Structure 1
């Protein structure tokens, strides 16, 4: 839904060069960094933001931003979900309406900083099922209600989640100042490995308690990061394993805002191209690119970079409400 009260045709996209027609998983783009990842009965909601055009979010001391767009679906119309994946504790990724409405027992996987905020005893109603992952720490999500099994009937569909490096503030004096002021929160990227697990029946704590986990498909979500040296650890950690799909946060978010663009805190088009070359995912989908007035690098700039680099077959573009279907 592009404007409240107006609808458009919603598209389903598949791999531009090797669609099979038997796709069994999908990414539904709601807006900003909010998506639903679905596979074999498991649904994960990323960075829930359901504010509308004209609404404002608080992003730090003296910094607010106005939303330009509407989400593709309303919060109360969401399908049944298994957990929320929250990259960091910022209102444009976890807005006040979501925070007020969410069941306090609903599972949230996030950063150590966000866990402290969400579970603080100073809250009138702290969240009770928050799991923190630091960089390269992992846990398993398994569908509690799935009747699906793998080739081995004891195996069930599961998603292994690993925290990936990210840096929301450029290195140098600004980063050191932010460490003192805590104005911009720490952020994670994520690696989601879709596969089959044995020996567990619910959301797990850190590590891999399952006797076996077999990966069939890998999704990397950049989170709100700049192209920093820490990202170069990701290919080293992967040790040659292929990333099948990347969701990349773009927009060139600049604070305090358009009238005083002093510091860029998310990748612009050029940095997005650098990350594509570093990760070398089979397919990349840009998200988080035009929903707020602090986003100063439009999607058209990224599209131009991709075209000039000759990488059109490696990128799929979704509008809010579109879905990318893929095969695990």
Structure 2
């Protein structure tokens, strides 16, 4: 059995520690107050700063970067951390855009992390659709990550990335059969685009998780920004309508402190 520690720093940013590895997801460490443009007339203001300062992080072996072009997944302070990371795994287009060496993946492709005395980690990119149908050329390339290594009891660790519920995501989840899901929620929306959503709502998440029944679901990326349309309270309200055997699998990570999770 693998025991890991998850430290939710804020938004999509989580430090994952296990087996001697330290992995960091979507680094965002800027202070609150700034408004970030997301293109095509959309923007959002950051409301909450990181629960752990970038200067207080331990050495990071790899950054798992779902996409490079939105400030709520990679900001200026997060970019400053990238050169010191042992490896950067991101989208193929993101790897070309970064000024540092990075491993670029498309959905379905796999890379491996290896180090002496540590379990090898296979990282497979999973499909994301960061918005409504046909929005890909506008919102850009985004991926999630399925992580497998020896000793997992409940199945792979899946980091969904910023995505709505869609057919390719459902198929990938069924193939992965994840044991633990780091689930990007928030139901992102903008005044300019009305009811359209750009990340999963709780209802979509329940639909997804009901099909794959993971052992543990860890919601992230639902707070700290103006463009989120569903807060923790909204997620919990929808979870109360879900079957108890499913809703009981959702666990909220405390901000800023390491939480042990069995994988």
TM-score for both structures, normalised by structure 2: 0.90
Q: Is the 8 A contact 1:256 1:263 kept in 2?
A: no
Q: How many residues align?
A: 259
* Paired residue secondary structure (2:52): coil
Query: Would you say 1:233 and 2:171 are equivalent positions?
Result: yes
Q: Residues 34 and 235 of structure 1: is their aligned pair in 2 closer, same or farther, counting only changes over 3 Å?
A: closer
5+ long unaligned stretches in structure 1? 1-21, 119-125, 149-155, 196-213
Structure 1 partner of 2:180: 245
After superposition, residues 286-305 of structure 1 pair within 5 angstroms as: 286-305=219-238
Map 1:112-131 → 2, pairs under 5 A: 112-118=92-98, 126-127=99-100, 129-131=101-103
1:280 aligns with 2:213: yes
Task: Report Cα offsets for 1:100-138 as digits up to 9, x if no partner.
Answer: 4532775210011211211xxxxxxx21x2001111111
Question: Which of these residues, 247, 269, 287, is aligned with residue 202 of structure 2?
Answer: 269
1:134 aligns with 2:100: no
1:269–1:299 CA contact under 8 A, matched in 2 = no
Matches of 1:75 and 1:235, distance apart in 2 = 32
Q: How do 1:94-243 and structure 2 match up within 5 A?
A: 94-100=74-80, 102-103=82-83, 106-118=86-98, 126-127=99-100, 129-144=101-116, 148=117, 156-172=118-134, 175=135, 179=137, 183-195=138-150, 216=153, 217-238=155-176, 242-243=177-178
2:240 counterpart (292, 304, 307): 307
User: Which of 180, 189, 203 is the equivalent residue of 1:254?
Assistant: 189
Larger Rg: 1
RMSD value over aligned CA atoms?
Answer: 2.2
Structure 2 residues without counterparts, runs of 5 or longer: none
For the Cα contact (< 8 Å) 1:272–1:302, is it kept in 2? no
CA contact (8 A) 2:28 2:74 kept: yes
- 1:247-275 deviation digits (Å, cap 9, x = unpaired): 11011111256xx6353100112112112
